[in-house]
Chains A and B, each alone.
Chain A
């Protein structure tokens, strides 16, 4: 039996682009676990440094000044003592090529009272840039151990582990860099009043409107907010300026002395980053490269993902067929068990796995660009274009990815630091037409839009297709604008960001990222999506009409008595398709479709269209196969959609009017362009925002917009056509 070992916790913190993730991955290997901090949208990554020591990855940040619950995570983690499962030690990852700015955060971490070890990372790149750091002298000046590392190659990691263990349990040194006296004095009084640690009292003073200020207001009793404002005003008068400026002066002033004593520079030639940036962020060339890189991404998704998705779909169809064949001749043939296995379980699992190729390929591109430093350049180039929607260049890659699939798009929004921009991006990406909408667009356009040319050279069908993409974009912009002025109100986030030096992407980091994204989707989203597929299967199956089944039996006997050979098989297929259609029409789903017919009537939809729409709640592309079943065409009659198109065009209502006309088809198109009939998207939003509030909101607002859009389309179209 293993004896209970005392678990030590080590937190890892650092600026963005310091190789913190690479270091974390290299230290923990495959032992890492990804979870969520309660109540916020921040991912919690933990792993084993070795037996008995747990490593916790804190979000990358330039500073411990916190303005949102998300940013507060790092602060509250660092301030929690080891006795309450807080960290015993903090590793601050520092980019050796940009020492002063990176040590700014370290000086803040010193004030949390935890022992610190500095990982001086990317010393190789710094050396190439002509920067040599005397680690001994730096360690003496800071009063904490400093270990030079190159996380990518694993250099220095054993030394880092050893230093962490040596330092564990030692007391933290007093912070070497002293706050100006007026701030210390006011913070001391405030800390006593609100019962807060001095660290938080200082942050409350300095970070106007920040998370610590809210804590003071909540804990300091009546008039705490007023007392804080007065204390701040007194300190500002004493220091003759805003407090953040005093903090920056204090830290950078001290750091300038520290680095002067341990950094030597020799002139280095023009760096690769400068040479590459001359092209990649060039006004004309940079834009061309961006278009090229993005086109390559999309071509790869369609080139590689589409065949893989086909393969997965066909594979699961094969498994379904195998189940059918295995059960044929047994009492289960054509029964509930077969239906559950084939249409529920196998189709449900297939419906989850079919997303993997797109997620993997998109994240391969995103991780490559992020790791080599290009992601920030793309944000730089596109910022102005996205700004009129209230967003920034950071939203560009997630939004673009969503034209392939919203799921990786939403997951990619993680690279957006600001919570407000990130949530807004997540809320609007499902509006952008993803590849799953293509079969619906193709089917309805082929069936109802005449294949004529406008002005002699513009194909009308192609125009309608393009219009569907345009509708999504045209709606997403005002939605982003409105959301940021209502639900997610707040001061605009600063856009100022670092353009990190270019580097070769590390295959290990990229592979781990892709693997992590795929696993996150399958394990944590997949189970819910699967459960929902089973639910929709049940709604479309129960109650099972015995009458319909008896009718089919009679028909089969009659056919067997009168026909033979190919004609008999043909007739049996027809009967099976009619039976499936009748069963679906009489199922709970069919009844819901009829019951909701008045709701669909203003759109010009009959109950069958409404029901197919309901059935496609888990995945919008399902509407195509549901329409097949409703119109007695059987579930999958080859890949040819033309017979379905013809059937839809010929379908009549009870009173003899056509079920579809161009206006109805267009309204259905607009509905599917704007709705959020994709359970995978909703579950991913839940996962990424750590709350059901946002997926519910997304579904509600998109369904409302889709309904309104469909209604408007139908009436405008009816006027013109």
Chain B
């Protein structure tokens, strides 16, 4: 499923990171790469962006950015 469809508490292993250009590159640089575990912690008051845990870091992603990330599990 897409990371953007995950509810708080849900997540899984990153299967693929799509999209293109700078946003894709930034996601990759921050460690959103295949094989890593990611979990949604919570969502901002207006429903967007979302806070996710990736390894030791907490990241804030917009839904439009999280849409490019496929997770399994």
Contact = CB atoms under 8 A, between A and B. Distances in A.
A411 B46 CA distance: 28
A11 B6 CA distance: 42
Contacts of B43: 283
Interface in A281-315: 281-284, 286-287
B64 to A, nearest CB: 9
A277 B58 contact: yes
A384 to B, nearest CB: 4
A384 B48 contact: yes
A207 B25 contact: yes
A101 B49 contact: no
A383 B45 contact: no
A134 interface: no
B28 interface: yes
B22 A247 contact: no
A380 B51 CA distance: 8
Contacts of A381: 44-45
Interface string B24-42: 1111111111100000011
Given A65-B29, A281-B42, A383-B62, A496 B20 contact: no
Contact of A252 (B33, B51, B62): B33
Interface stretch (A451-459, A487-495, A575-583, A624-632): A487-495
Contact of B60 (A63, A248, A380): A380
A101 B31 contact: yes
Contact of A281 (B25, B26, B44): B44
Contact of B58 (A282, A379, A498): A498
Contacts of A385: 46
Contact of A498 (B30, B33, B44): B30
Contacts of B29: 62-63, 65, 104, 248
Contacts of B47: 384
A426 B3 CA distance: 34
A247 to B, nearest CB: 7
Contacts of B27: 494, 496
Contacts of B49: 380, 383-384, 393, 495
A248 B56 contact: no
A620 to B, nearest CB: 35
A207 B44 CA distance: 31
A273 B65 CA distance: 24
A494 B56 contact: no
A277 B24 CA distance: 27
A76 to B, nearest CB: 19
B31 A100 contact: yes
A235 to B, nearest CB: 15
Contacts of A283: 42-45
B60 A497 contact: yes
Contacts of A247: 28
A101 B51 CA distance: 17
B23 interface: yes
B21 A499 contact: no
A569 to B, nearest CB: 63
A660 B60 CA distance: 53
B39 to A, nearest CB: 12
B72 to A, nearest CB: 18
Contacts of B30: 62, 101, 496, 498
Contacts of A500: 58
Contact of A100 (B20, B26, B41, B55): B55
A101 B27 CA distance: 11
Contacts of A208: 20-21
Interface in A82-109: 97-101, 104
A242 interface: yes
Contacts of B20: 208, 242
A188 interface: no
Contacts of B26: 62-63, 494, 496
A100 to B, nearest CB: 7
A262 to B, nearest CB: 15
B56 A281 contact: no
Contacts of B42: 277, 281-283
Contacts of A248: 28-29, 33
Given A98-B56, A101-B55, A496 B23 contact: yes
A495 B57 contact: no
A244 interface: yes
Contact of B59 (A244, A492, A499): A499
B22 A491 contact: yes
B17 interface: yes
Interface string A46-85: 0000000000000000110101000000000000000000
For A99, A131, A499, A501, which residue has the most chain B Cβ atoms within 10 angstroms?
Answer: A499
Nearest to A418: B22
A178 interface: no
Nearest to B32: A496
Nearest to A129: B56
A101 B30 CA distance: 6
A284 B43 CA distance: 11
B60 A499 contact: yes
B31 A104 contact: yes
Nearest to B26: A494
Contacts of A501: 58
Nearest to B60: A380
Given A100-B31, A104-B29, A496-B62, A284 B45 contact: yes
Interface of A: 62-63, 65, 67, 97-101, 104, 129, 131, 207-209, 242, 244-245, 247-249, 252, 273, 277, 281-284, 286-287, 376, 379-381, 383-385, 393, 491-501
9 contacts: A65-B29, A98-B55, A281-B44, A381-B45, A383-B44, A384-B48, A494-B22, A498-B58, A498-B59
Given A493-B22, A496-B27, A499-B60, 10 more contacts: A62-B30, A65-B29, A98-B57, A384-B46, A385-B46, A492-B23, A494-B22, A497-B59, A498-B30, A498-B58
